[in-house]
Structure 1
Amino acid sequence: MSPLPATVPAIVRTRLRAAVRRPARLTPEEAEARALLLRLCSLLLQYPDGELAAARSVLTATVGTLPPSPAAEQLGAFTDWFAHRQPEELEGHYVETFDLRRRSSLHLTYYLHGDTRRRGMALLALNQRYRAAGWEIDGGELPDHLPVVLEFAALAGPRAGEAPLRQHRRGLELVHRALTEADSPYRHILAALLGLLPPASEADLRAVAELAAQGPPDEDVGLDPYGSGEFAPPGTFVPPEQAQPTLVPPPSSPEGLR
C-alpha cells in the first residue's frame, strides 16, 4: 500500500507502515480515497486539543476537496460545526459525549464483551493483529479506541485493515444511535463511517436494539474505564471511577505525519 499523495496536507498524509495488497476490486485511486476518508474520520474523532483545533482550517479544506459522496457530505456537515466553535466548547462537548456517556464510548470491545474477561482477550487479539501487520501503538489509548482502529484501517487496507470495523459494526451502530439521540454533531462522522461498511442486516439491527435496552455483558474484572452501574441511557452522565486521559494516538498526530 503506497502512501497518500503529497498533495494531501501533512496532517492527513500517512506513512508507509505495512505492505498490504489492495483488493482487486479497488483501483489504486479508489483505495487512496477510501484511506483518506478513514483517516479523516480518525482525526476528527480524536480529542480536540490545541494542535487539532489549530488544524481545523486544513481539515475543513481537505474535506471540501473530497469527491462527492454521502460520506463526504457527512464529514462536511461535521466540519461546518467544528470550524466555528471555540476550543473550550469543543473540548467540553467531546468529554461529555465520549468520556462520560458509556453508550457513546469510543472503546469498541466494550459493546461486544462488556466488563468481562473476554474483553481483555479481545484487546490482546486486536493488538496482535496490529503487530502482525507491522504496526505498533505507542500512545496511551487501548487498541480498541475507535480513532486507533480507523488509523489501522486506513493504513492496512479494506480487507485486513477494516476487519475490526466490520466485527464491531453493531457497536458502531449503537454509538451512532446514541449520538443522534443526543443531537451531537459527531453523529455525522459515525454516519460517514457506517456508509463505508456493508449494510446492517436485520439481525444486526435487532442486536443493536437489544444492546441499547439491556447493555453489554457485565462482569467485574478490573477493566472498566467507563465507571460502574447500569448501562447509561442517552443524556445520562456516568463519571468514571478512574478517569483515563484522552490522548491522540501518535500515528495520527501532525508531527508523525510529516
Structure 2
Amino acid sequence: MRLLLPRRAASDRALQNRLVRQAASLLLAYPDEEHEKRLDVVEQLLEHITGPEKDLLGAAARELGGGDGLGVAQQYVETFDLRRRSTMYLTYWTAGDTRNRGAEMHAFATAYRDAGVAPPAHEAPDHLAVVLEFTANVDPSAGEELLTRYRVALDVLHASLRDALSPYAQVVEAVCATLPPVTDQEEQRARRLAQAGPPRESIGLQPFTLTVPPRAEGTPQKGTSQP
C-alpha cells in the first residue's frame, strides 16, 4: 500500500531532497582551491536540512574541512581514483570495460540535453557529483530517475567507502536516503556486484577512457581517467 503524503509534506520533502543532493554534490567535488568556499555553501544548506541527512552531511563536512588542503586532495585521489571499487562513475558499475558503457553514458548526456542543458565539458556525464548537481538544480525528476536506476551502484559505492572508513561514505548514505527504499532483489544485486566487481569484456575491445582536464602545476596528480 502506497502512502499518499499531503501536498505540503510532499513539497517539503522534494525541497529537502534537492538541498541534500546539492550539498552532497559539493562535498563529492574534487577539493581544489574552491574547496573551502564549497564547504561554506554546504554549511548554509545544512541550516535548511533536517533529519539524519543533516547529521550525515554535517559530520562529513567537518571531517573534510579539518585538514590541510593538500591532505584532503590526496585523500580524495586515493579514495576515488586509485580504487576501482569506489569509483563515482556510475556506469562503470553496471557496464565496466564493455561496449555497453558508451550507450549508458549517452543516456546521461541525453537526459541533460532534454532538460535544456549541455553535458559537462570537463567531466563524464555519469560522475555522481555531476548527476547530483543536475538533479538539484536542473531537472529533479529526470535526475532522480537516473539516480534510482543506478541505486545498486550507489549501494555498492557506499559499502566500499564505509569499509574504508571514508567520510565520503556518509555523503553517499545521505544521497541514498533521498531515494526510494531498495527492494530485496536490488539488495541481492548489490551484494553480487560487490563480490564480483564491474563486468569486463575480453578480446577485441579498446579500454574505454575519459578525458580528464589538465591540472595546475603543483596539485596532486589524480589517477587515470579510467577507474
TM-score by length of 1: 0.74
Residue in structure 1 matching 2:104, options 117, 122, 131:
122
- Segment drifting more, 151-160 vs 180-189: 151-160
Shift in Å, 1:139: 2.8
Taking the aligned partners of 1:192 and 1:145, their CA distance within structure 2 comes to 17
Residue in structure 2 matching 1:221, options 195, 202, 206:
206
Taking the aligned partners of 1:214 and 1:36, their CA distance within structure 2 comes to 34
Shift in Å, 1:77: 0.9
Contact 1:115-1:224 within 8 A present in 2 as well: no
Gaps of 5+ in 2: 1-6, 211-221
Q: Deviations over 1:18-54 (max 9, x none)?
A: xxxxxx6865554333222111111110000011234
Residue in structure 1 matching 2:184, options 164, 189, 202:
202
Task: Give the direction of change, closer, same or farther, for the CA distance of 1:223–1:36 in structure 2 (3 Å limit).
Answer: same
Residue in structure 1 matching 2:26, options 36, 39, 43:
43
- Structure 1 or 2: more helix by fraction: 2
Task: Describe the SS at the equivalent of 1:84.
Answer: coil
Partner of 2:171: 189
Task: Give the direction of change, closer, same or farther, for the CA distance of 1:144–1:138 in structure 2 (3 Å limit).
Answer: closer
- Segment drifting more, 28-37 vs 154-163: 28-37
Shift in Å, 1:127: 0.5
Match runs of 1:82-161 below 5 Å: 82-161=64-143
Task: Describe the SS at the equivalent of 1:162.
Answer: helix
Gaps of 5+ in 1: 1-23, 226-238, 246-258
Task: Give the direction of change, closer, same or farther, for the CA distance of 1:196–1:138 in structure 2 (3 Å limit).
Answer: closer
Task: Describe the SS at the equivalent of 2:34.
Answer: helix
Shift in Å, 1:244: 3.4
Taking the aligned partners of 2:138 and 2:38, their CA distance within structure 1 comes to 25
Percentage identity across paired residues of the two chains:
36
- RMSD value, Cα: 2.1
Taking the aligned partners of 2:182 and 2:8, their CA distance within structure 1 comes to 21
Partner of 1:33: 16
Residue in structure 2 matching 1:177, options 155, 159, 167:
159
Residue in structure 1 matching 2:43, options 60, 63, 72:
60
Taking the aligned partners of 2:176 and 2:90, their CA distance within structure 1 comes to 14
Contact 1:155-1:161 within 8 A present in 2 as well: no
Partner of 1:252: none
Q: How many residues align?
A: 206
Partner of 1:19: none
Letter in 2 for 1:222: P
Partner of 1:6: none
Taking the aligned partners of 2:44 and 2:21, their CA distance within structure 1 comes to 16
Contact 2:92-2:198 within 8 A present in 1 as well: yes
Partner of 1:254: none
